[in-house]
Amino acid sequence: PHRLALTHNLILHYGLYKQMEVYRPYRARPSDMITFHSSDYIDFLQRVTPDNQKQFLDCIGRFNVGDDCPVFDGLYDFCSIYTGGSLEGAWKLNHKQCDVAINWSGGLHHAKKFEASGFCYVNDIVIAILELLKYHPRVLYIDIDIHHGDGVEEAFYTTDRVMTVSFHKYGNHFFPGTGDMYEIGAREGKYYSVNVPLRDGIDDEGYISLFKPVIRKIVEVYQPSAIVLQCGADSLGCDRLGCFNLSIRTHGECVKFVKSFNLPVLVLGGGGYTIRN
C-alpha cells in the first residue's frame, strides 16, 4: 500500500534507518497463522482471488469478506508479509536481539479467529503476543488507534496473562461499536481488559492527561515484562475516518512514555486514512 511506501521513504530520507537495524520480514506461514485463526479461514484466504471469488460465495459471507474487507490480488501474500513482520519482531524481542521492534505494516487489530473485520484479515497482533507469551509471563497491549482494539481484546478476554488497554472513540454507532468502559474481561481475565472510551475532538492536552496516569498505574500494578503498542494514525487530527484532534507530537509522546519503562516493546502501525498524517 502507498502509505507504507511513503513511511519507508520518510525513514530513508530523514536518515532514521541509520539508527536501527532494518530487516526484510519473515513471511508467516499458515502454521503461524493458525496459532490463532481457524485453519479453514486461513485456507480460504490462501485460495480466494478476485477471479475465482464467485466460487466461494458461501465462504465470503461466513468469513465476513466483502465491503470493508475486499478480495484483491495478492491478499494472502499481503497477510503473510505483515504478519511475519510482527512475528519476527516478537521473536527478536524474545531472544534479546533488540529492545524495540517496529513493524509499521502490522497492527491489524480487528481480525477475529474466524473472520475478517474492518480492513483486517489476519490479526498479526494476537499472533505476535502469543509468541511473546512463550518467554514472558505477562504482556501489556496498548492501542491508540481511534477504533477499539476489539479483535485483540476478544482473543485474550478470559486470560490474565495479557492485559489489553484501548483508548478509542466510542458512541454514535462508531465502528466497531465495542469498547465500553464496563467491558472488563471475564473469568480469569476479569479486570484485565481496560477501555478508555472517548468523544469527538479530544486534543493533545486532554489525551496525554489520560494516557500517562492510566498507563503508569497499569504498568505499576500489572508489572508486564513486555509491551505491544499499536499506533493507528487515524486518531490524528484531520483523518478521513477519525474525529480526534491529536498531533503527531502527541503520538510520539505516547511512544516515548511507553519506552520510558525500559521494557521490550513491539511497536505496530494500524489505521490511518489521510496520507499526510
Please report where in the chains the cell 484532534 appears, as a residue. 245
Amino acid at 160: D
SS3 12: helix
What 8-state DSSP symbol labels residue 241?
A: S
25-to-28, 33, 61, 91, 239 alpha-carbon distances in Å: 9, 15, 31, 12, 28
Tell me, yes or no, if 110 is annotated catalytic: yes
Helix axes 39-47, 75-94, angle to 10 degrees: 130
Q: Tell me how far apart the alpha carbons of residues 227 and 143 are, in angstroms, rounded to a whole number.
A: 11
- Whether residue 210 contacts residue 247, with contact meaning beta carbons closer than 8 Å, is answered with no
Neighbours of 30 (CB within 10 A): 14
Q: CA separation (Å) from 152 to 134, 165, 248, 277?
A: 17, 10, 24, 24
DSSP H stretches of helix in the chain: 2-13, 30-33, 39-47, 57-62, 75-94, 124-132, 150-155, 204-222, 248-259
d(CA 27, CA 80): 5
Considering 2, 37, 109, 110, which one is annotated as catalytic? 110
Q: Which H/E stretch holds residue 200?
A: none
Instruction: Quote the CA–CA distance of 59 and 44 in Å, as a whole number.
Output: 7
The set of catalytic residues is 110
